[in-house]
Amino acid sequence: MKQNWFNRSNGRRGKATVRAVHGDITTLDVDAIVNAANSSMRGGGGVDGAIHAAAGPGLLQEEINDHPDGCPTGEARTTSGHNLPARWIIHTVGPRWNGGHQGEPELLASCYRESLQAAVVIGARSVAFPAISTKAFGYPPAEAAPVAVNSVREFLERDDHQIDEVILVGFNGESFGLYEDLL
């Protein structure tokens, strides 16, 4: 996995380290990974499908039992990690891209904030994010990456969290490169 740290000093932003990683989010040994879910929280394609496949059938059953109404866009829900190295999965539903003038940046920023707040609630100290909304939901990666980085930075500036590390995972070279440039 290729990695890049937040800055040249020591990678610290507030109390937390932020870094970009080029790799597969399902393999990361972190407290929580974020799933770019659909609103039904019943699995799908892309990172959602990969997380469901890696976590095993218990994930779908937990979603059905604990989150029968799914998750609205911009919010977050948590489940256990099941067969993943991560202890928890934080599911968030990103916005579909409609040109950027229908509240997409605000909803995407909310995904990052709500996911980090969910991490605080469950006591996660390390959290990994995929590039939310950039594949199936059509959000241009060059538009999404600054929203992701800025939302994470703003959240971590607060002093009321115990998060030590946030990882922005680029499954492909494009997303990783964008994160690397912004960090």
Query: Which residues are part of the catalytic machinery?
Result: 48
Residue position matching structure tokens 């006591």 = 123
Q: Evaluate whether 59 touches 84 at the Cβ level (below 8 Å).
A: no
Sign for the pseudo-dihedral over CA of 122, 169, 107, 18 = positive
Paired residues of 127 in beta bridges:
32, 166
Q: Evaluate whether 170 touches 22 at the Cβ level (below 8 Å).
A: yes
Q: How many angstroms separate the CA atoms of 171 and 75, rounded?
A: 23
